[in-house]
């Protein structure tokens, strides 16, 4: 499980305080994938980072009772000076996994050909997105954190392979996905929440969440 207990978070922008979460409590249990709908700029990325432990709450407590992924697309642990191969093997060792397996899984999924052995600093943003997505799926997590859906890749072959794999993972793992587009959440989660004005409103269905979201964003 992942639990937020009276968690608050805000940023000082120089002229005002931007409140992301105001004493928010909720819990996500394994097997209950959750989609969080939020308009742009309300704090989707910040909340996902807090779930992963990359951003600290100002107040309150975040409890993690399972293996939670880094956010999809997060490049923090990846070193640009070395190749995808070397990164994959290094990170596999950090997580106590077989480096040969992680390397070959990533090589197959992101299909970067000879670039897989070149420094990541030479990749396009789409190639990087493909690699970090492959790496996330190669590691064994109970909960996957996804910011705004699939990686930004124009490679149709990769999108198909990655989409199928993610759908397959959904049967055995739990996904928390944040987006401003309800249609992205539909594919991943039945339970949904709306993040706005520092509060997280939880609903049993995406339909109910959409009603509040549409009302608030479209009037």
Ligand X SMILES: Nc1ncnc2c1ncn2[C@@H]1O[C@H](COP(=O)(O)OP(=O)(O)OP(=O)(O)O)[C@@H](O)[C@H]1O
- Contact set with ligand X (CB under 6 A): 11, 13, 18, 20, 38, 40-46
Burial of 166 (0-12, 13-18, 19+ CB in 10 A): buried
Written in H, E and C, the secondary structure of 129-189 is HHHHHHHHHHCCCCEEEEECCCCCCCCHHHHHHHHHHHHHHHCCCEEEEEECCHHHHHCCC
Give the nearest distance from C-beta 31 to ligand X in angstroms.
26
Q: CB 42 → ligand X: shortest distance, Å?
A: 5
Judged by CB, which is closer to ligand X: 41, or 219?
Answer: 41
Q: Which is nearer to ligand X, 180 or 190 (CB)?
A: 180
In whole angstroms, the minimum distance from the beta carbon of 216 to ligand X comes to 14
| Short-list 26, 5, 13, 42, CA closest to 196 | 42
CB of 90 to ligand X, least distance (A): 28
- By beta-carbon proximity to ligand X, the closer residue of 42 and 83 is 42
Cβ closest to ligand X, residue 11 vs residue 108? 11
How many angstroms separate the CA atoms of 6 and 8, rounded?
7
């Amino acid at each position: 499980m992942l639990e937020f207990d009276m968690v608050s978070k805000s940023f000082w922008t120089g002229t005002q305080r931007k409140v992301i979460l105001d004493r928010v409590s909720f819990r996500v249990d394994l097997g209950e994938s959750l989609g969080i709908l939020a308009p742009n700029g309300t704090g989707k990325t910040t909340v996902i980072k807090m779930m992963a432990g990359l951003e600290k709450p100002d107040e309150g407590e975040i409890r993690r009772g399972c293996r939670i992924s880094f956010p999809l697309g997060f490049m923090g642990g990846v070193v640009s000076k070395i190749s995808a191969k070397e990164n994959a093997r290094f990170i596999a060792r950090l997580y106590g996994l077989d480096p040969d397996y992680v390397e070959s899984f990533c090589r197959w999924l992101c299909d970067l050909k000879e670039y897989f052995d070149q420094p990541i600093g030479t990749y396009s943003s789409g190639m990087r997105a493909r690699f970090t997505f492959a790496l996330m799926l190669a590691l064994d997590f109970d909960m996957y954190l996804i910011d705004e859906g699939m990686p930004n890749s124009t490679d149709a072959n990769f999108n198909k392979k990655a989409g199928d794999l993610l759908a397959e993972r959904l049967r055995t793992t739990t996904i928390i996905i944040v987006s401003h587009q309800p249609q992205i959440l539909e594919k991943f989660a039945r339970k949904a929440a709306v993040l706005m004005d520092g509060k997280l409103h939880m609903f049993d269905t995406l339909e109910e969440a959409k009603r509040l979201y549409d009302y608030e964003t479209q009037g």
